[in-house]
Amino acid sequence: MNHNNFLKSSNESYVDGNFDSKVDVNQNKIGDRSNQNLSIGLSYSEPIAKQLSLQFGYQLNYDKGKNNYFTYDYSNTSGKYDQLVSALSNQFEQDVITHRPNLKLSYNAKKINYSIGSGFGFTTFDLLDKTMDKKYNRSYTNFFPAASFSYRYKSNSNLRFDYQGYTRQPTLEQLQPLRNNQDFFNQTLGNPDLKQSFTNNINIGQSSYDMLSETQIYQGLSFSTTTNAIIYSSVIDTETAKTTSKPINTNGNFSGNYYMGYGFKIKKIDVRADFSPSFGYNRSILSINDKMGKAENLNAGFSVYLNKSKQKQYDISLSNRFSYNRNSTTQNSEIKSFNTNTLDLDIGVYFAKKWKLSTDYSLNTRQKTVDFQDNLVNQLWNARLQRTFKNDEFTAYLFIRDILNQNIGIQRYAYNNTISQEQNDRLKRYVMVGFTWNFKNGGGTKK
């Protein structure tokens, strides 16, 4: 893929609110990039007993890529883009080959199912920096264990365990020693010394349902840890306000999550109730100005859902979701935290057999923080009137969207001791008349 782009920007720096410096960029960027991928997989399964089978497999992955990138400054003397910027230009090639044979033993019975196996990965990295005439050749041998276990301890109840180990290769952009200055104050630089990462992932799940009492319980626990995880190390120049980020390998990254749900029928009032708490913890390694540290994120949530319905008469549901986020790092003592809440109400009422009037309402609230003082509450209210024809095969409807004219999209994120809020405008209040044809309710008639 070839490209020929121009970058023109004016970048001003301020110190304590006062103008400090200005840098103008006027460049022509010419690139020639290509990437080819080949993946071949073979597998063979052989029964060795009534409930046992042995599976053999082999997988070949080949990734070949190149990126020739040249940046030219504009010359006032010649009136052309003819001054090569060596720091922003590079020619780079990569060849990554992985051979992965694997073996798996599987057992399948009425109540118990399990499989255990492993693959071996033989990976070679052949990297060539043509600009500096430098080669980077590396080889890795990896062990890819995998196991799963499922136990059906009674009807509609089961317990499951899964484990998987896998690698992740660095991308061409992460490996190539090329500086990207598209954002003048936030530039990135590749690292050809990157290693592949390896992740261990464990999942445990349980679920059960009692048809007589209409009670359901489910829960899950997961844990993941990554060796040689690829993160971006940042170096901040306080004089120019410029940040340069470079991918590096780190250890000590892990995460854990737990969720559960409990649902039951309140038979006296014929209402379905569900409660769902969840918890999560994540620790990631940081590198700022060559100083290593860690960031910790704790999140918790609790959901409540109530529903009462009767076929072709009414359908009412009420739900609420509360979530809490807390972030801290060893880089400073400041703790960032906030909570959000979403309340939803849906009502649908049938009348005169063919008619249905429905409405839904959503109230979103966000905690006020030092960083975000506005747009803490927004509401969305919709309504719809419809009539069906010919055994529900055809439906005509009148729909009013965003009656309160407050439809905006707001997402708040917390990561590495920073809170960011993304807001985007959406289509607000409108009225729509529509007609639908449900082929499944056509009574078998061919159309």
Query: Of 182-186, 250-254, 379-383, 422-426, where does mean pLDDT reach its minimum?
Result: 422-426
pLDDT confidence bin for 415, thresholds 50/70/90: low
Mean pLDDT of 202-216: 93
pLDDT of 28 over the 90 cut: yes
In tens, the pLDDT along 58-68 reads 999 999 999 99
Query: Of 12-16, 148-152, 270-274, where does mean pLDDT reach its minimum?
Result: 12-16
pLDDT of 144 reads 86
pLDDT of 22 over the 60 cut: yes
pLDDT of 333 reads 81
pLDDT of 392 reads 83
pLDDT of 442 over the 60 cut: no
* Residue that the structure tokens 């409660």 belong to: 275
pLDDT of 93 over the 50 cut: yes
pLDDT confidence bin for 417, thresholds 50/70/90: low
pLDDT of 443 over the 70 cut: no
Q: Which residues contact 177 (CB under 8 A, 6 or more apart)?
A: 90, 92, 129, 132, 189, 190, 191, 192
Q: Which residues contact 157 (CB under 8 A, 6 or more apart)?
A: 207, 208, 209
pLDDT of 57 reads 93
Across 132-141, 216-225, 306-315, 404-413, which has the greatest mean pLDDT? 216-225
Question: What sign has the CA pseudo-torsion 286, 288, 290, 293?
Answer: negative
In tens, the pLDDT along 142-184 reads 888 899 999 998 888 999 999 999 888 898 889 999 999 888 8
pLDDT of 409 over the 90 cut: no
Q: For residue 238, with 0-12 CB atoms within 10 Å meaning exposed, 13-18 middle and 19 or more buried, which class applies? A: exposed
Q: Are 85 and 73 in contact (CB under 8 A)?
A: yes
Mean pLDDT of 329-349: 90
Q: Select from 374, 386, 392, 370 the least CA-distant residue to 432.
A: 386
In tens, the pLDDT along 210-232 reads 988 889 999 999 999 999 999 99
Average pLDDT over the chain, rounded to whole?
Answer: 90
Mean pLDDT of 253-265: 96
Distance CA 105, CA 57 (A): 12
Distance CA 248, CA 211 (A): 53
pLDDT of 370 reads 77
Q: Select from 379, 433, 425, 439 the least CA-distant residue to 403.
A: 379
pLDDT confidence bin for 445, thresholds 50/70/90: very low
pLDDT of 447 over the 60 cut: no
pTM assigned to the model: 0.79
Distance CA 395, CA 434 (A): 8
Mean pLDDT of 288-313: 93
pLDDT of 416 over the 70 cut: no
Mean pLDDT of 43-65: 92
Q: Select from 401, 369, 396 the least CA-distant residue to 385.
A: 396
Q: Are 191 and 247 in contact (CB under 8 A)?
A: yes
Stronger pLDDT, 33 or 204, i.e. the higher one: 204
